[in-house]
């Protein structure tokens, strides 16, 4: 059942207002009233996803949700008759969703869609249930479970051995670590799942943008190369995903960035506080073959 929610109660507090255009009338809609937001979409927002209203086309209200670098599209049927997820096509087989994204990108509030691609391969993200989280018998396994369920972005090829690392976007040691790992990442040997946090207000906003963008790896390397426009500090973005990451750090008393967590080749959970001193040994401990 759709949940009756007003703009001021939900979206305005974490994504800011944006001008919504109806293609049928070419007039700006009243952005003080938004359609009903189904509870499942609200749950995504509560978990740190960025939500934008795509407008109403062909009689259905469209929404985009972006979380962990992945975008999902939702269409709510008339009279709150349920909703569907996927790409909307018109009667001629043209993708209406593509036009909606282009329209939103050109409007205020659409900046996070600047690098959006609808055909990029997506890695499936599986989250553990609450019951599964507490099946583990050791603190190290519980920590690893919490880290896996954090809000992270993937740098590198799917299916390769994984490091998790808490990072602050402006942390010099984090940048140095990633430069040391870059060749291993680019050669397809390892994958680094960055868990963005913010030790200052500005970097929290940048961390939220990194979680929101549908092309996080591209944005991260641009940021690493010195492109100051790659990670804007947009304060109107939902920061709940970043706050969740920071809560995990605080609950486990992790007090530095970078902070790496990984499952070694002997199946033990290992942690590295600060910048690794020997990248080669770290790669070998992960079980990567040269």
So what's the pLDDT on residue 117?
A: 35
Domains and CATH numbers, the chain: 2-113 (3.10.450.70), 130-286 (3.40.30.10)
Low-confidence ranges of the chain (pLDDT < 70): 1-34, 36, 68-69, 80-81, 107-137, 290
What's the CA gap between 17 and 285, in Å, rounded?
48
* pTM for the model: 0.61
So what's the pLDDT on residue 49?
A: 77
What's the CA gap between 210 and 67, in Å, rounded?
10
What's the CA gap between 153 and 159, in Å, rounded?
14
Please provide the size of the chain in residues.
Answer: 290
Alpha helices, H only, 149-225:
172-186, 201-212, 216-224
Encode burial over 118-129: b for 16+ CB neighbours within 10 A, e otherwise.
eeeeeeeeeeee
So what's the pLDDT on residue 209?
A: 93
Token couple for 20: 């919504």
CA 276 to chain CA mean position, Å: 26
Token couple for 73: 């599209």
So what's the pLDDT on residue 3?
A: 38
Token couple for 90: 């018109």
So what's the pLDDT on residue 29?
A: 37
So what's the pLDDT on residue 134?
A: 40
Cβ contacts of residue 260 below 8 Å, gap of 6+?
A: 163, 164, 165, 177, 270, 271, 272, 276, 282
């Amino acid at each position: 059942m759709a949940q009756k929610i007003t703009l001021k109660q939900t979206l305005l507090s974490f994504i800011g207002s944006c001008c919504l255009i109806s293609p049928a009338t070419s007039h700006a809609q009243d952005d003080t009233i938004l359609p009903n937001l189904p509870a499942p979409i609200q749950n995504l927002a509560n978990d740190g996803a960025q939500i934008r209203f795509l407008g109403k086309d062909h009689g259905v209200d469209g929404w985009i949700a972006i979380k962990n670098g992945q975008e999902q599209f939702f269409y709510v049927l008339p009279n709150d008759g349920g909703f569907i997820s996927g790409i909307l096509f018109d009667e001629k087989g043209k993708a209406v969703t593509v036009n909606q994204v282009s329209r939103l990108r050109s409007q205020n509030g659409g900046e996070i869609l600047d690098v959006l691609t609808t055909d990029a391969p997506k890695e499936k993200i599986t989250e553990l249930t609450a019951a599964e989280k507490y099946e583990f018998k050791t603190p190290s396994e519980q920590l690893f479970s919490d880290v896996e369920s954090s809000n992270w972005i993937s740098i590198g090829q799917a299916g390769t051995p994984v490091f998790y690392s808490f990072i602050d976007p402006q942390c010099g040691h984090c940048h140095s670590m990633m430069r040391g790992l870059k060749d291993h990442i680019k050669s397809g040997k390892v994958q680094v799942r960055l868990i963005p946090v913010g030790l200052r207000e500005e970097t929290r906003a940048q961390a939220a943008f990194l979680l929101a963008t549908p092309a996080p790896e591209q944005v991260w390397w641009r940021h690493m190369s010195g492109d100051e426009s790659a990670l804007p500090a947009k304060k109107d973005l939902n920061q709940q995903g970043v706050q969740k990451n920071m809560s995990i750090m605080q609950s486990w008393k992790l007090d530095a960035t970078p902070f790496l967590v990984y499952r070694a080749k002997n199946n033990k959970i290992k942690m590295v506080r600060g910048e690794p001193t020997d990248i080669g040994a770290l790669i070998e401990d992960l079980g990567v073959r040269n």
